[in-house]
Structure formats: C-alpha cells, structure tokens
Amino acid sequence: MELIFKTEEKQEAEVLFLPVLKDNLAIIKLISSFDFRDEQNILLRLKKENFQGNKGDWFVVHNDKQTIVFIGTGQAKKLSAEDFRTTAGYMVAYLRKHHTKKIGLLIKYWLKGTNDLDVLAQALAEGLYLAAYSFDRYKKIDKEAIKFDVKEIFVYLDSLLSGQKAKFIKGWDLGRSLAQGTILARDLVNEPAGVMTPKFLAEIAKNIAKKSKNISVKIFDKEKIAQLKMNAYLSIAQGSPEEPKFIHLIYKPAGKIRDRVALVGKGVTFDSGGLNIKPWEGMVDMKIDMAGAATVLGVFDILAQSDVKVEVHGIIAACENMPSGTAVKPGDVVKNMQGKSIEVAHTDAEGRVTLADSLAYAQKQGIKKIVDIATLTGAAIVALGSQYAGFFSNSDKLAERILKESKNVGENMWLLPLALEYKNMNKSKVADIRNVSEIKGGGAIMAAWFLNYFISEGTDWAHIDIAGPAYAEKEMNSYTPVGGVGFGVRTLFNWLKNI
Ligand code: BES
Ligand code: MN
Ligand code: ZN
C-alpha cells in the first residue's frame, strides 16, 4: 500500500471512505454538501436502507467516476484511536467484496480538528494491515473470491505545509511496523505444531536477530540447559523427542540506556497435557500454547527497526509437553535453576514449571523489571472470557503503565488480584512448592502466586495470562480475524517505547 498525498480531491481514487457518526441530520447535511446530481434519490435510498451510521454499517453512493462509502462509526462524539482502527477494519471488509486498487481518505472528514494526524495515521495503518491479514498457507486458492488488493491510498490533506505530510507518514510507519510485528506473532500462533517446534521458534529468533545490529541471540540446547541447571524446564521437555531450545534475545540500543527489562514468553509449542493427558476438545487447539513466545518475538521484530532506548531481553523456554515413557510423572520433584524444588503434581500445569526457570534466568541477568506473557490457565478464560487477558503485578506503578498502553491499543487486559489470602495455597508435602493448588477455584491467581514464588524481593514483575485472547475462535473485532491474535505485541512495544 503506497501513500500518495494530495491537497485536492480530483477523483484519482476509485473509492473514497468517509466516517459518519450515528446522527441522521448530520448524515443528510454531509450528503447535501457533496452536491450529488441525484441527491433526492440518494436521500430516499438512505431512508429506505435505514442507514443510521451504526458501527460497521456502510452506505454507498456512486458518482460518475467514483464510489463514496460512508462508514458508520456509532455514537462516539470524538473518534478515538480504537475507533479509527475499527473503522479501518470495516473498510477492509468492504474491500473484500469490491474490486478496488485505489482508495482515498479525505482527512478533514476523519479528523474534524479533534485528533492528532499521527494518531489517525498510525491507527489507520494498524487497522488496515491487521484486518487484511489471513492465514491461508494451507488452503487452496478460491479463484472467484475478491482479494483485498489496495495498491494506492490517496491522502487528501488541507495543506502539505506545516509538516502535515511528515506527521502522517511518521504515524503511518509506526502503525505499519506495529501491525507487522503483530502479524508475525499471528503467523507463529497459527502455524500447526507439526511445523512450529522449539527448533522452528529458535530459527525465527535467529532471523530476527539478523535484521538488526542492535539485536543478538543465544540459543541453548539440552546440554547447555542442563549445565545451567534449568531442571524444572527440562522435566517438561523430557517426554518429547523434539529437543527443547532456550531462546535469549537481547536488544541493546546505541547510546544511553534508560532501563533494562525482560519479556518472558511461554513457549510450549504443543501442550498435550503430558501424562495427565487432555481430552480432545482441550487438546485440539494446543498449538497456540506458544502464543506468549510469539508475542515476545513479534515485539523484537518491531524493535529491530525502532529507536527504543531500553535494553530488552526476550526469554523463551521452548519445548513440547508430551506423554511418553520418558515423560515427567505426576508426583516427580524437580529443581529450578535457583535450587527451588517443585512437585509436579499435575503434568498439565506445565507452563508455570517452564516459567520457573525462565523467570530465574531473567533475574540472573541482573534485570529488575520483568513482564511474562503466557497462555497459562483455562481459569483465566472462565474468569474473563476470550476478549480479556488476566493481568497481575507486584508493582502498582508497572501495572498502571502497562494497563494504560493496553487501553490505548485496544488490547483488553484486566487487573486481577495477587490476593494475599491465596499466597500459600500451592503448598507441597514433599517440595518447596507444588505446581497445582489443593484448593479449588481461583486457578489464574494460584498460578500467578506460583510464578511469584520465583521472583526475588526488589524485582518488579507483571504477569499477563493470555489463555483467552491469544486465539480468536470467532472474529474478535473488525481488525482481528479468526485465529492467532498476536495479543500483547502492540501493548508491550508501546510500553518499551514510552519508558
Ligand atoms: N495451556 C494450558 C492453558 C490453556 C487452556 C491455554 C486453554 C489456552 C486455552 C495450560 O498449560 C493448562 O493446561 N492449564 C491447566 C492447569 C490445571 C491443570 C491446574 C488448566 O488451565 O486446566
Ligand atoms: Mn497444560
Ligand atoms: Zn499449557
């Protein structure tokens, strides 16, 4: 999609898009302002089709050479970045039904002087690229289907002076790279586990590191992992013939570093449950159990072309959780690299056991600010459904910062309590801690407390349980189709950018 800037609309675009609020009078006024030759007919049709400007509805007017699509944006008084993204998603929905290569945006109708041009441009780019995504690598091509195939976007500005164009481009480029990082994460989540192995994830990490001189990567194999005494992680990997790969990405910007942080992603490339095997309904989508890792890789993909001033460590303990004669057995006791012993009472609570070592490793790097992101518990889905991630933190300040970014980008996260009442519920009779609680209920909180056991005093830590929103069973919104969501990429990147 190439941007072409103009100050005056001269019918270069085949389709012009205009957002309209749910306001009948304003819509009629707007249509009149265009001086359509058959205005009366159009207004009659407007009434017959009962177009109100509801979110996602559109009303189409064909001119001599051009089509104008009025897109409803609902009742908002002022359009937010999320409204812009959503509206861009509706544009893509329209363009999947109509062959068009050149579209136009009359910016004065989009902004109404109330929002920043770069905010608009960024949100439009995110919405357009994300909505246009589909994972069809394994499908035969439907020759009849209309493809979203926009080549040129005509951007009509009031003037090209005062840096307007530069501002638009800056926002657009950021939005596009945020979308690209998210799309990488979606691709990784959507890829079946037969391909998406720990080794495959490690290759992706290497490719990202190649893209930037600021990024380096270390990949540890089984022997090295054993040397580092990450035996909790190894115990989960031991049931599979696929070798574990421990991935450590490092982004080091030139110049003065503002902070050092770690992003830790759960990277279970397939979760069968292990010997406590899952029923088929529970297992069928478990290729997604590396979505946290995918998010971390998506963020690094954006970092590769950024000027973020924070040192970032990406940490992924990738493995498969499989049942076999060599698999970890319920009741086994294993130690993580800090020497803390874990009773693996339930082999399907494997993510937290791998994270016990990832979190320990992150702290061993001397990092005092850690965010982990993981498809950790079905209980988080019970609590919040599929549109919200469960968010936990031992630092109110860190929580506030990340939750603010998540709101801005439209990735829903909800603060759940690290309730002191439940702190010691993961008690074990034989080890320092047990990977499941004997107490029923509150599973997402119990899992968060388990992770917290491996966080030392003085480390700020946040935990994002994305079991729900990592994967969209139904379209999540107009720019998030069925499949991997790439959830958290945009929130975490913006958080790093604004540290
Ligand atoms: N990967 C699952 C959690 C999950 C479930 C993610 C559904 C996405 C969708 C995790 O490893 C798991 O199996 N958790 C168990 C924990 C239980 C055994 C304490 C669960 O939630 O049932
Ligand atoms: Mn599991
Ligand atoms: Zn799992």
The pLDDT tens digits for 189-211 are: 999 999 999 999 999 999 999 99
- The total domain count for the chain is 2
377 Cβ inside 6 Å of ligand 1 = yes
Counting Cβ atoms within 10 Å, is residue 372 exposed (0-12), middle (13-18) or buried (19+)?
Answer: buried
**What band does 65 get if pLDDT is binned at 50, 70 and 90?**
confident
**Residue at which a domain ends, from 105, 131, 158:** 158
248 Cβ inside 6 Å of ligand 1 = no
Question: Could you tell me if 326 and 382 lie in one domain?
Answer: yes
> How remote is the CA of residue 271 from the centroid of ligand 2, in Å?
5
17 falls within a domain:
yes
Backbone angles phi, psi at 150, to 5 degrees: -75, 125
pLDDT per position as a tens digit, 465-489: 999 999 999 999 999 999 999 999 9
348 labelled ligand-binding: yes
Q: Is 101 a catalytic residue?
A: no
- Rounded to 10 deg, the angle between the 198-210 and 291-303 helix axes is 10
Residues 6+ apart with CB under 8 A from 196: 188, 269, 287, 290
Q: For residue 68, give both structure tokens.
A: 């104008």
Question: Could you tell me if 119 and 191 lie in one domain?
Answer: no
Q: Whose CA is nearest to atom 7 of ligand 1?
A: 378
Q: Whose CA is nearest to atom 13 of ligand 1?
A: 348
149 falls within a domain:
yes
122 Cβ inside 6 Å of ligand 1 = no
Tell whether the model's pLDDT for residue 73 goes beyond 80. Answer: yes
Quick one: which atom of ligand 1 is closest to the CA of 375?
6
Question: Could you tell me if 227 and 133 lie in one domain?
Answer: no
Question: Could you tell me if 249 and 113 lie in one domain?
Answer: no
271 labelled ligand-binding: yes
Of the listed ranges 11-15, 200-204, 311-315, 367-371, the least confidently predicted one is: 11-15
Q: For residue 9, give both structure tokens.
A: 């609309």
Give the pLDDT of residue 77. Answer: 82
**Residue at which a domain ends, from 132, 158, 184:** 158
Question: Could you tell me if 134 and 260 lie in one domain?
Answer: no
Q: Please identify which of the residues 352, 369, 434, 490 carries the catalytic annotation.
A: 352
267 Cβ inside 6 Å of ligand 1 = no
Question: Could you tell me if 121 and 182 lie in one domain?
Answer: no
Question: Could you tell me if 304 and 443 lie in one domain?
Answer: yes
List residues, by chain if needed, whose CB lies under 5 Å from ion ligand 3. 268, 271, 289, 351
Question: Could you tell me if 143 and 228 lie in one domain?
Answer: no
- Which residue from 344, 346, 348 has its CB within 8 A of the most atoms of ligand 1, so it is best to mutate? 348
365 touches 455 (CB < 8 A): no
422 falls within a domain:
yes
Tell whether the model's pLDDT for residue 162 goes beyond 80. Answer: no
225 falls within a domain:
yes
378 Cβ inside 6 Å of ligand 1 = yes
CATH number for the domain that contains residue 459: 3.40.630.10
Please give the C-alpha separations between residue 45 and each of 41, 59, 289, in angstroms, as whole numbers.
6, 9, 50
375 Cβ inside 6 Å of ligand 1 = yes
**What band does 344 get if pLDDT is binned at 50, 70 and 90?**
very high
167 falls within a domain:
no
Give the pLDDT of residue 161. Answer: 66
Q: Is 490 a catalytic residue?
A: no
> How remote is the CA of residue 286 from the centroid of ligand 2, in Å?
9
Question: Could you tell me if 237 and 263 lie in one domain?
Answer: yes
CATH number for the domain that contains residue 83: 3.40.220.10
Quick one: which atom of ligand 1 is closest to the CA of 276?
18
Domain that holds residue 38: 2-158
Question: Could you tell me if 154 and 181 lie in one domain?
Answer: no
**What band does 113 get if pLDDT is binned at 50, 70 and 90?**
low
Question: Could you tell me if 287 and 368 lie in one domain?
Answer: yes
170 falls within a domain:
no
433 falls within a domain:
yes
328 falls within a domain:
yes
Question: Could you tell me if 375 and 258 lie in one domain?
Answer: yes
Q: Which residue has the higher pLDDT, 373 or 8?
A: 373
Quick one: which atom of ligand 1 is closest to the CA of 352?
11
